[in-house]
Amino acid sequence: MARKTHKGKPQAKSAHAQAKRLAAKHQARRTHGRLGGSLGWLPAGLRKYVRAALDKQFHVPKLDLDLHVLPALAGVVVLAVAVGAGYWGAQSLFGGGVETAHQRPTKNVVIQQTHSLRGVILSEDDAEKTVKTAYEEKVLEEVYTPPEPAAPEPATEVAPEPEIAPKPVVEVENYEVAWQGGKPLWLKNAIAYAPPKGKPQISIVIDDMGVDRRRSKAMWEEVTAPLTLSFMTYADDLPEQTRAARSKGHELMLHMSMEPSSSTIDAGANVLLTAMPTAEIRSLANWGMNRFEGFVAVNNHMGSRFTEDERGMRVVMEEIKKKGLFFLDSRTSSRTVGRRIAREVGLPVLERNVFLDNENIPEKVLAQLYETERIAQKYGHAIAIGHPRDATIKVLKTWIEDARSRGFSIVPISTLMKKRLYLNNLKLKG
């Protein structure tokens, strides 16, 4: 007679489940008995423990199953190995991976990935470096000419001059303008330099200084002054590096990190982002400008997105003006609002004309310098931007003296700003 529960209902289902479990145990014993026959080579004492392990089971209530522990564990291990192999295979195929300690970027690493369309200017590999750093976004507009010449054209017709000879430029007797409230900081920080009169002026600005220590040092020690060296805000030992560069006769600028157009490009520590609140943009801009002393101007590092943003650029321009500096727009975007916003807030501003080293090839750098000469001949001055790259250093060593022999004057960036303000002052008086 079937046993009843306290409610009087038969437990036939429970009895049936128990019978199934007993049958499974007997089957397991028979199976492991056969396996045990293959364990005869083991010592008798060890054989007993192995058989006990093979017989060990656990019950899965919801499935009403009895599973053997060792086969279940083996299945889990095989599954984990299969999943892991699939994951690493996918990572190898599509990129990415787990970041190990030696792969983690240091605080001076500027880039993690490159953008397939725009690209970046990468530094050369050194034996002691494990990660490539990036200098800058590759600008799409390598040459920019101002909408109108800075110097007026001659009123009367003159005979055409040889192509290599520079065109006449405005003679400037006195660059100093009457400054209300004393000289601004940039004028106080400008190096003492008296440019030759009547020659087209070229300013060579070298961005991203201070991160690649070896090539930065080569730039200020091996290339004839005066260059204008723009140091990254997050480089190490900035006071020491900038003092060494200044002692060689070069002028200083600050290179401020701004948001690039591609989210795959990391512009560096404390980069200014368009999504930041105004107060944070203001704070980070001042953090950068307090990193070292003695510079005359600020220009943007990357910033192809940020320099298109009116709100963000207005905040930065206001803070630069408060410091008594001026702004050089690197023009990493053709849609930059830097020049317009700077003028609206009353900040002196210049713009880059030629980008020298999108490609780290001496012949390309030299061709871009010749383009810089062409613009200087036409407008009386030109600004070229390069980076501490091997090709750029090599070409500048010889080009500077050659350009001077052809009638060009290589000047610090402050000389061009003095000239710009002097000419503007003449226009206002006229």
* pLDDT tens digits for range 238-297: 999 999 999 999 999 999 999 998 887 878 889 999 999 999 999 999 999 999 999 999
CB of 210 closer than 8 Å to CB of 253: no
Q: What is the DSSP letter of 272?
A: B
Closest of 398, 393, 396, 418 to residue 150, by C-alpha:
418
**At a CB cut-off of 8 Å and minimum separation 6, what does 21 contact?**
59, 66
CB of 348 closer than 8 Å to CB of 187: no
pLDDT of residue 265: 82
Q: Would you kindly state where each structural domain of the chain is located, as residue ranges?
A: 12-94, 134-429
End-to-end Cα separation, the chain, in angstroms: 123
Whether the per-residue pLDDT at 99 is higher than 90: the answer is: no
pTM of the predicted structure, to 2 decimals:
0.67
pLDDT of residue 131: 42
How far apart CA 354 and CA 375 sit, in angstroms, is: 9
pLDDT of residue 301: 95
- Average pLDDT, whole number, for the chain? 78
How far apart CA 184 and CA 297 sit, in angstroms, is: 11
pLDDT of residue 266: 79
**DSSP string computed for 202-238:** EEEEEEEETTSHHHHHHHHHHSPSPPEEEEETT-SSH
How far apart CA 327 and CA 106 sit, in angstroms, is: 29
Whether the per-residue pLDDT at 331 is higher than 60: the answer is: yes
Q: Higher-confidence residue: 168 or 422? A: 422
- Strand 409-410 to 201-209 pairing: parallel
How far apart CA 297 and CA 161 sit, in angstroms, is: 36
Whether the per-residue pLDDT at 102 is higher than 50: the answer is: no
Whether the per-residue pLDDT at 68 is higher than 70: the answer is: no
Instruction: Look at 222-226, 280-284, 293-297, 419-423 and tell me which has the smallest mean pLDDT.
Output: 419-423
pLDDT of residue 233: 97
Angstrom CA distances, 211 to 16, 135, 229, stand at 77, 9, 12
The 10 Å Cβ neighbour count of residue 193 is 16
Instruction: Look at 25-39, 248-262, 320-334, 413-427 and tell me which has the smallest mean pLDDT.
Output: 25-39
How far apart CA 205 and CA 220 sit, in angstroms, is: 12
Superfamily of domain 134-429: Glycoside hydrolase/deacetylase (3.20.20.370)
Q: Phi-psi category of 210—alpha, beta or left, where left has phi over 0 and alpha has psi -120 to 50?
A: left
